[in-house]
Amino acid sequence: MHVQCLQVGMIETNCYILSDEARGECAIIDPGDEAGRVAAAVRKSGCTPTAILLTHGHYDHTEAVADLRRTYPGVTVYLNREDTPEFGAPGMLFPPVPDTRHYAEGDTVNVGNLTVKVLSTPGHSKGSVSLLCETALFSGDTLFAGDCGRTDLWGGDMEEMLRSLGRLGCLDGDFTVYPGHMESSTLELERKRNPWVRQGMRMLRTGNA
Ligand SMILES: [Zn+2]
């Protein structure tokens, strides 16, 4: 497994290329902008993209999808349906991404021989998911290094956010955390220092906020 990060667009979204180098296949996670730069990085990796995985439907995570689909007609695009205009999400913030396959809690996507597992982690948006692959946790705008995503946009909910962060904090073992913005971290460090993760874990253990 190999993970490459590119910061794309005006608000520096982290776009990740997750590769199974042995099989020569990769997934593009959250291509928020700069399709040309993303495609150049994919070319350099020598891998063929088979999937575009979206952690949620906000425009700054999805804007390069259409261009990349033209470059790679064979890719399948995955998004949780709760973040789509068909399910009431406002189109300004959640622009329609045509031809998506909807994924949700418990689904898996194969990338070469890698298995990516989908965890539903609402709070930043209704359809926010986190993606687990081996020791990597792609946390979208749910979990950031030392912080969490905002909950004041459409579909956001602080109590759900805390529950989601608590759930991530309670995962077994350690993971490298690859968030949707800013620097990466580890889950163990976030359990120690991230007040939102700590509050969420407490909340899950005691059953109340
Ligand atoms: Zn977002």
Is the predicted pLDDT of residue 209 greater than 80, yes or no?
Answer: no
| Number of structural domains the chain divides into | 1
The Cα angle at residue 95 between residues 83 and 107, in degrees rounded to 5: 35
Summarised one tens digit per residue, pLDDT across range 140-183 is: 999 999 999 999 999 999 999 999 999 999 999 999 999 999 99
207: confidence class by pLDDT, cuts 50, 70, 90: confident
208: confidence class by pLDDT, cuts 50, 70, 90: low
- Span from the CA of 22 to the centroid of ligand 1 (angstroms): 32
Could you tell me the CATH number of the domain that includes residue 13? 3.60.15.10
Domain that holds residue 162: 2-206
Is the predicted pLDDT of residue 50 greater than 80, yes or no?
Answer: yes
| Percentage of residues in the chain having pLDDT higher than 70 | 99
- Span from the CA of 39 to the centroid of ligand 1 (angstroms): 22
Mean pLDDT of the chain, nearest integer: 97
| Percentage of residues in the chain having pLDDT higher than 90 | 97
Summarised one tens digit per residue, pLDDT across range 78-93 is: 999 999 999 999 999 9
CA distance 57 to 73: 20
Kindly tell me the number of DSSP H helices and DSSP E strands found in the chain.
6, 14
- Span from the CA of 56 to the centroid of ligand 1 (angstroms): 7
- Span from the CA of 207 to the centroid of ligand 1 (angstroms): 27
- Span from the CA of 23 to the centroid of ligand 1 (angstroms): 31
Q: Is 59 helix (H, G, I), strand (E, B) or coil?
A: helix
- Span from the CA of 75 to the centroid of ligand 1 (angstroms): 23
- Span from the CA of 202 to the centroid of ligand 1 (angstroms): 25
- Helices of type H across 89-194: 158-169, 187-193
E strand or H helix that includes residue 137: strand 136-140
Q: Looking at the chain, which runs of residues are DSSP E strands?
A: 2-8, 13-20, 25-29, 48-53, 76-79, 100-102, 108-111, 114-120, 129-133, 136-140, 143-144, 147-148, 176-179, 185-186
